Amino acid sequence: MGKAVNIHDGLYGQAKAHAMAGGQTIAEQINLWAMVGKAGLDNPDLPTAFVRDLILARRQNPELTTPFVPASTYLERNDLT
């Protein structure tokens, strides 16, 4: 469920323009920006464009994605350590 928040008029205008150009709602555009920003802060070693592309790809075909499992976890699960 969505929540109402106050945002700067300039940010709203930019989101509206990007949303119209991208064929999505203003809320979807702001959510994308928030997800990219959070993922970028959580993964500072990754380029922002790469993070954005991953998020967009997951939106397009979520059934084709697989969860990331670190090699150490895989080795432990399969008793290969």
The tens digit of pLDDT for each residue in 5-62 reads: 999 999 999 999 999 999 999 999 999 999 999 999 999 999 999 999 989 888 888 7
Does the structure show a pLDDT above 70 at 80? no
| Total-model pTM | 0.71
Q: How far apart are CA 64 and CA 61, in angstroms?
A: 6
Residue 71 has a pLDDT of 77
Give the tokens for residue 23. 């064929």
For the chain, the domains span 9-77
Residue 63 has a pLDDT of 81
